[in-house]
Structure 1
Amino acid sequence: MLRQYENSIDDKRQFTALVKDIFPEEAKNINLILMAYNMGIAQDIQKANLLNNTFAFRYVKQLMDDYGISRVNADWIVSVWCSCYGNKVLGKACDISVQKQGGGPAIKDNKSYSGKSYGDLFVYEKSRRGNGLAVTGFRGDKNKTIIFQNRSGNENVIEIADNSFSKSSIEEAILTEGFKYIGLNTFSDCEKLHQVVLPVSVEEIENSAFENCNSLKSISLPVLLKTIGDAAFKGTGLRTLDIPKSVFWIGDDLLAECQSLEHIKIPDNIARITDRMFMNCSRLKKVELHEKLNSIGERAFFGCSNLDFIIIPDSVQQIGQDAFTGTDDMFIVQCSFGSFAEQYCRKNKIKYQLV
């Protein structure tokens, strides 16, 4: 089909209609094909030099986490795309074969050059945060993309330990289901790190975990995440960040120095904008606050030179020193008559508009 209608792959409407016409009685397989297609697998296959386990596992994991697809079905459809489209149509080098659907995984565990299993290349210690092991290092020679394994022998692996990959050359970090903790400075100063896949199980991201990962443009935070530490994403390349409803605590300097950050929406489970949370985010243009917010920390928006207005709800009863110093010359606060925000603006000679 793909050989005959290769041009349809870049037209979503045409491709969807074509798949449904050719396989009218196979609703389950149609859905699997289109799920992977809508995730962008075709375009990524076109760009890839080699279709291997590392490439495929990203999609397997996303299908499992985001759509609830079983490992067998996720594994099968990703291998179909890689082998049939990538290898047979585009002629890409492909290490993945397609097995009979439901007959077991086509994407096998990685093997090192020495014949050891992929999991044997990790270094572990006892976790100090929970009952299980923590990853402290990786001994493989192919360390640009690392798929963190959730088991070692009979023990669960639940943590990536403090400082374990700081300043390393890692480019992609893929954590499998079961990891709960990302330690202090775990990936800090990893300048080439551009993709991070976190499982639903992650509950805590510690201080400076991804600080100064300036190639990291986006990240999807897990829906069960509880806490995010100080400066966890400071100095990254993030353009925005969706904070899950499950988060009840965030640290200071969370997104400070993020020069690409343009838009942020504070969810109503976050009661306070912390100190220096967006300091020196020079491209930040749009900030959405909710009606339950109670305070804005010191220097929260200091140096946000592109921010020209903000709406502060009546619920805010505390605003820290220099919260809006260094914003756009035309910066104006929109607030209600008699609100704390109005009083703050008057005292600090900040332009405001009553709404």
Structure 2
Amino acid sequence: MNRIYTKEIRIGNKSIGNFKPIAVQSMTNTDTKDIVSTINQINRLSDLGCDIIRVAVPDEDAAKALRKIKENIDIPLVADIHFNYRLAILAIENGADKIRINPGNIGDRGRVKEIVNVAKEHKIPIRIGVNSGSLDERVLTKYKGKIPEAIVESASEYIKILNDFGFDDIVVSLKSSDVPTTIESYRMFSKKFTYPLHLGVTESGTLWSGTIKSSIGVGTLLSEGIGDTIRISLTADPSEEVKVALQILRSLNLLQRGIEIISCPTCGRCNIDIVGLAEELERNLPTTQKHIKVAIMGCAVNGPGEAKDADIGIAGGHKSALLIKKGIVIGKIPEDRIIETLTEEINNLIKEETEA
């Protein structure tokens, strides 16, 4: 797919835009003032494949905690600010690599200018975060609702405010909890501006429903070449956000790292517990920068053929399975050793990559 050009923006040690790899983001759910818990969660998310992390900054203590947090993580740190311009300034001064604000709830232009001046001094970008749930009443009245035109106009106005103060190091998000509204808002915006876009369906829901909504919304936009960084907003542990985001990127062939499982739907021909095997393996996958495809197939109809396209896989038989590596059958294993054997083979593939 052809990606749409956007300007390059630097966030700490990561760049987005200008056709750079799409960055995966998440947000901590720890109390930012609890420095140890926040650092531990960030590093766990980083190990899973999170590229950029955002933390809530509701007060001065949280803003000051950023300095120590930043010293103990390896990925860019974004401060999420609402209402209080002083917190934005304090967050920048304590090492935030980017801040996320909604200029409409910061207050008058003078306060926005103060934030901009400090961001310029520290050479960090600002994400303008526009949500359909917090649109200005004037815009809502003009458009008679939370429609894409209203969202894009709000973003345009906020961009102009920053541009008026000589600031153009901008990332933009235009989120709604409604999937079609989200998609159309990003489409409209990308035709008018070249700022890098942070994609997401806001407040998308639980792990199950939110994954579906986000996959449709974010996946549709990515397939059209729109988007530079993504966050899957789930009512779930942040690790699930990272896993879903990575899987969306893999599904669109936009990511070539990590372990991808392909498994068949169960049917009456299956004589092994394909559901249990696939779920157990997925729960216990190691992390890796290598792209490894693992096939778990239930029977001899499509199993051997599908498994041959994987790096390692099995095709089920009667309480047993053929073990297939790089398209070649290398053995037969009983059902109770399938997980153990696949895990060992995956670790061997990871080790081969490390030693290469």
Scaled by the length of structure 2, the TM-score of the pair is: 0.35
Higher relative contact order (CA 8 A, sep 6+): 2
Scaled by the length of structure 1, the TM-score of the pair is: 0.35
Q: Which has the higher helix share?
A: 2
